[in-house]
Structure 1
């Protein structure tokens, strides 16, 4: 069973990973975006960590809802609302339960990914964070390590795609040959589940 401590560890591990990889995320964002993806997410997840330390919610859903709110209010551009929506919708789906099982978590994360697709209008193949998140959720039944591998593979597979959504879509064919920064940061989020669980 997964409790609030697990979800707080997940957010801390994500924050640490984003902090380590911020420069790489910004470098990926530079040719096809606003060159601020890494710095924006670093600021957002630092705020998440601070808020969780201050409030320490005792239910998994409450941890994710609080994290989502922080990202929406602290991160500029599209990534704040998208990541915030992902976590908030997942958190609301989990409700007030003190513990959740793997199946409930997978269902909640799928609800979060569906909300991201509805908000951004993106589908798999559009060269967005969805390209990492959808395969991750599909693979979650096989454990966190399987989900992390699927997300990483999905992120790498964005390189040859032409962007059809988001800032990169304005570039048309010039977006081809660049790995999507949103898919890359989404893969970091999923990989942090492995660290949080000690798998």
Structure 2
């Protein structure tokens, strides 16, 4: 069973990963976006870590809802609301339970990803974070390592796509040949989950 501490460790691992990869995320974003994705996420996850340390929530759902709120309030551009929605909706789906099962996390994450897709009006193939999150959620019943591999492959598979959503879509065919920064950071989030789960 997964408790609040597991979810705190997941978000701390995600924050550390964003810190390490911020320059690469911004470099990817400079090709097809505003060149601020890494810096924005870094600021958001720094705020998440501070909030979790200031008053650690006692349930898995509360950990994710708090983190989602921080990302919505601290991260500029589209990624704040999208990441915030992912974590908040996942947290709300987990409810008030002190511990949740792997299966419950699978279902809750699927609800979170569905909420992101609805908010961004995106489907797989649009060259967005959905291209990493959807295969990750579909693979999660097979284990955390499978989810990580699916997310990383999904991010890589955005390279040949033409962006149909977000800032990158303004570039039309010029967006082809670049890896989507949102899918890349989403894969980092899934990899952090796999790392904490030992998968």
TM class by shorter-chain length? Answer: over 0.9
Q: Which contiguous aligned blocks of 4+ residues in structure 1 show a shift greater than 6 angstroms?
A: none
Counterparts of 1:197 and 1:57 in 2: how far apart (Å)? 20
Counterparts of 2:195 and 2:187 in 1: how far apart (Å)? 13
**Displacement of 1:196:** 1.3
Counterparts of 1:173 and 1:4 in 2: how far apart (Å)? 44
Counterparts of 2:69 and 2:176 in 1: how far apart (Å)? 33
- Size of the aligned set, in residue pairs, is 199
TM-score (norm: length of structure 1): 0.99
Residue pairs, 1:118-157, within 5 angstroms: 118-157=118-157
Counterparts of 2:120 and 2:89 in 1: how far apart (Å)? 14
Q: Which residue of 2 aligns with 1:95?
A: 95
**Displacement of 1:179:** 0.1
1:89-127 per-position Cα deviation (integer Å, ceiling 9, x unaligned): 000000000000011000000000000000000000000
The RMSD of aligned alpha carbons is: 0.5
Counterparts of 1:198 and 1:146 in 2: how far apart (Å)? 12
Counterparts of 1:25 and 1:187 in 2: how far apart (Å)? 12
Q: Which residue of 2 aligns with 1:109?
A: 109
Q: Which residue of 2 aligns with 1:179?
A: 179
Residue pairs, 1:35-74, within 5 angstroms: 35-74=35-74
**Displacement of 1:198:** 2.6
Residue pairs, 1:14-25, within 5 angstroms: 14-25=14-25
User: Greater CA deviation, 188-197 or 150-159?
Assistant: 188-197
Counterparts of 2:25 and 2:31 in 1: how far apart (Å)? 11
Q: Which residue of 1 aligns with 2:167?
A: 167
Structure 1 counterpart SS, 2:23: helix
Counterparts of 2:183 and 2:19 in 1: how far apart (Å)? 16
Q: Which residue of 1 aligns with 2:27?
A: 27
**Displacement of 1:153:** 0.1
Runs of at least 5 residues in structure 1 that lack an aligned partner in the other structure: none
1:139-187 per-position Cα deviation (integer Å, ceiling 9, x unaligned): 0001111000000000000000000001000000000000000000000
